[in-house]
Amino acid sequence: MTEEYVPPAVWTWSKPSGGTVSSLNRPISGAMHDKELPVGVHPFQLYSLASPNGQKVTILFEELLEAGHVGAEYDAWKIDISASDQFSSGFVAINPNSKIPALVDRSGPEPMRVFESGAILLHLAEKFGAFLPAGGAARAECLSWLMWQMSAAPFIGGGFGHFYAYAPVKLEYAINRYAMETKRLFHVADTRLGECRFLAGDEYTIADIAVFAWFALFCEDRIYHNAHEFLAISEYANVGRWVREIAARPAVIRGRMVNGSALPERHSAADFAAVQPAAS
C-alpha cells in the first residue's frame, strides 16, 4: 500500500512529474529557445500536428477547399512537440499557451494570429460562411455542441488519456473517475445522434468536425492502448454510425493525414498524391 500524499501548504516544482509526457509539462509559460517559424505563400499559415486538436483544423481546411472555397488554400507546417517546437520564440508569438494548433491568417492587410482549435474553427467558418448556420436556433445548437467539445476534451485527454495511458503509475481512483466521465460524454453524443444525423441537426458543421477528431480515434481503436475495449466503445452504436459516415468524406481523409508521419507538411493539393490515407 502506497503512502498517502499530503499536499504542502505551497506547491513548488521540484522535480519532473514522470510519465510519458512529463518533458512537455512545466509550470511557466514563454519561449525556451529562439526559432522563427517558416512562412509559405498561401493566405493561411497553420502550425500544427496530426493530433485530435490539430486534425480539427486541417479537416475544416480540406472541407472548405472541397466545397470550392479557393481562398482557403493553406500551408501546414508540422510542430514536433516531442522536440519542444511549441516552445520556440516564433510559436509562442502566435500562441502564448504553447499548444497546437496555431494559425496566422494573412488573407487581410495585416497578419492575424488565431490560437485554440475551437477559435480557429469558428474564425474560418465565419470567414467563409460555411459549416456554421447563419443564425437562429441552428447556429445556437451548433455553437453549443462546439463548446461542449471544448469543455469535454480535458476530461478525455488530460484526464482519462493521461491516467490510463501515460501516468507513471496506475491509480484506480483516477482511472475510474475519468473513465466514468469519458463514457458519460460518449453517452451524451450517442443519445443526440440517435435523434438526428449530425450533432447540430441535419447539417454537417464545425461541431461535428470538432467532436469527430477525438471520438473517431476511440471508435477506430487508435488511441490510448486498447481504450476501445476498456471503455466498451462499441456500445455507442449511434456514435459509430456517425463516425463511419464522416470518416468516409474525401476531405476528412485528407485532413487527417496533414502534419502526420506520412505528410509532415502540406502546401498544395498535389502533396496528397504521394501518400496513402490511413487505414480506417
Q: Say if residues 80 and 89 touch (Cβ distance below 8 Å).
A: no
Residue predicted with more confidence, 172 or 14: 172
Question: Is residue 1 scored above 60 in pLDDT?
Answer: no
What pTM did the predictor assign?
0.94
Secondary structure of residue 251 in the 3-state scheme: helix
Q: Using one digit for the tens of pLDDT, what is the confidence trace for 86-131?
A: 999 999 999 999 999 999 999 999 999 999 999 999 999 999 999 9
Q: Report the DSSP pairing between strands 74-78 and 102-105.
A: unpaired
Query: Which of the 8 DSSP states describes residue 77?
Result: E
Domains of the chain: 44-131+258-274 (3.40.30.10), 136-247 (1.20.1050.10)
pLDDT confidence of residue 19: 63
pLDDT confidence of residue 280: 44
Mean pLDDT of 40-67: 98
Mean pLDDT of 147-155: 94
